[in-house]
């Protein structure tokens, strides 16, 4: 049985939900906006529908967010860092080495943790994915703040295992893309494509990780 707790722990320490300081109305606005954005897409959502769903006057939205786009960014931008936060943590590698007997166990713990996180924030993540191509601000944020750090972190780890002779000698970027897209593919197919199909989450994660590990194993 893999130990889930350590992973959860260091994540919770870092991620502050920052939902504090919001008035009750503001919270209602954000909730309504998430609902509507996720259903219709940002561009096809109207502030009036959001206001109505939030039980708030149209003007109230603009007291809190100068523009509709600012509302979108306020919702979606924190999600990016939260989603990738654990991979950026300084003690990521340390946790890996001290708390988990095998790499597979560690990956399983991380996967379960992120899966639960994604489940909780599914709608916001969907909005995020939808809007990244059209919101330069989000792209910039990803590139500058998060993307590269995650990339570096993973590269580091992969090279560590390559050095140890546990991972096949292919170019690290190829390995990285292979492993991450196979993992992300699992998330996407489950949460976005096959939303209603029943599944045994533990099994599916295990299988995917095994296939990835197998694929990358030094022969």
Partner DNA sequence: TATGAATGAGAGTTCATTCAT
Partner DNA sequence: TATGAATGAACTCTCATTCAT
* Site residues (vs a copy of itself, CB under 8 A): 40-41, 43-44, 126, 130, 133-134, 168, 170-171, 174-175, 177-178, 180-182, 184-186, 188-189, 192, 203-204, 207-208, 210-217, 219
**Site stretch for DNA (CB under 7 A), options 8-16, 61-69, 90-98, 107-115:** 61-69
Which CB sits closer to a copy of itself, 101 or 133? Answer: 133
Between 7 and 158, whose beta carbon lies closer to a copy of itself? 158
- Binding partner selected for residue 177 from a copy of itself, DNA, none, CB under the kind-specific 5 to 8 Å limit: a copy of itself
Three-state DSSP string of 43-62: CCCCHHHHHHHHCCCHHHHH
Nearest to 79 by CA among 130, 43, 121: 121
The first and second tokens of residue 89, run together, are 């943590």
Closest alpha carbon to 115 in 37, 29, 188:
188
Per partner kind, with CB cut-offs from 5 to 8 A, the member of DNA, a copy of itself, none near residue 4 is none
Contact 109, 175 (CB under 8 A): no
Residue 153 binding DNA, by CB under 7 A: no
Residues 12-31 that bind DNA (CB under 7 A): 23-26
* Binding at 140: pick from a copy of itself, DNA, none (beta carbon under 5-8 Å per type): none
Which residue's structure tokens are 């006057």? 57
Please enumerate in sequence order all residues whose Cβ is within 8 A of that of 11, keeping only pairs 6 or more positions apart, or say none: 85, 86, 89, 113
Task: Give the separation between CA 7 and CA 91, rounded to whole angstroms.
Answer: 11
Measure CA 94 to chain center. 21
The item of DNA, a copy of itself, none sharing an interface with residue 77, based on CB under 5 to 8 Å by kind, is none
End-to-end CA distance of the chain, in Å? 27
Neighbours of 149 (CB within 10 A): 13
Q: Report, in Å, the least distance between residue 142 CB and DNA.
A: 23
The residue whose two tokens read 């000698």 is 169
CB of 151 to a copy of itself, least distance (A): 11
Rank residues 7 and 61 by Cβ distance to a copy of itself and give the closer one: 61
Site residues (CB under 7 A) for DNA, limited to 87-146: none
From the list a copy of itself, DNA, none, pick the one residue 49 interacts with, judged by a Cβ distance below 5 to 8 Å according to partner type: DNA
Does the protein bind DNA through residue 35 (CB under 7 A)?
no
């Amino acid at each position: 049985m893999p130990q889930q707790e350590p992973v959860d722990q260091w994540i919770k320490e870092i991620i502050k939900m920052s939902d504090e300081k919001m008035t009750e109305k503001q919270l209602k606005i954000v909730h309504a906006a998430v609902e509507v954005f996720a259903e219709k897409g940002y561009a096809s959502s109207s502030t009036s529908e959001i206001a109505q769903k939030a039980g708030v006057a149209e003007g109230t939205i603009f007291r809190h967010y100068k523009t509709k786009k600012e509302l979108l960014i306020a919702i979606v931008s924190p999600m990016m860092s939260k989603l990738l936060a654990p991979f950026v943590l300084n003690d990521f590698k340390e946790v890996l080495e001290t708390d988990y007997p095998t790499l597979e166990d560690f990956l399983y713990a991380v996967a379960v943790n992120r899966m639960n996180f994604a489940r909780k924030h599914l709608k916001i993540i969907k909005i995020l994915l939808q809007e990244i191509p059209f919101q330069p601000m989000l792209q910039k944020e990803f590139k500058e703040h998060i993307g590269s750090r995650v990339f570096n972190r993973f590269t580091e780890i992969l090279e560590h295992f390559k050095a140890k002779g546990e991972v096949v000698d292919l170019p690290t970027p190829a390995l990285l893309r292979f492993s991450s897209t196979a993992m992300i593919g699992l998330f996407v197919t489950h949460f976005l494509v096959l939303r209603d199909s029943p599944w045994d989450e533990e099994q599916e994660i295990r299988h995917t990780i095994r296939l990835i590990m197998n694929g990358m194993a030094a022969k």
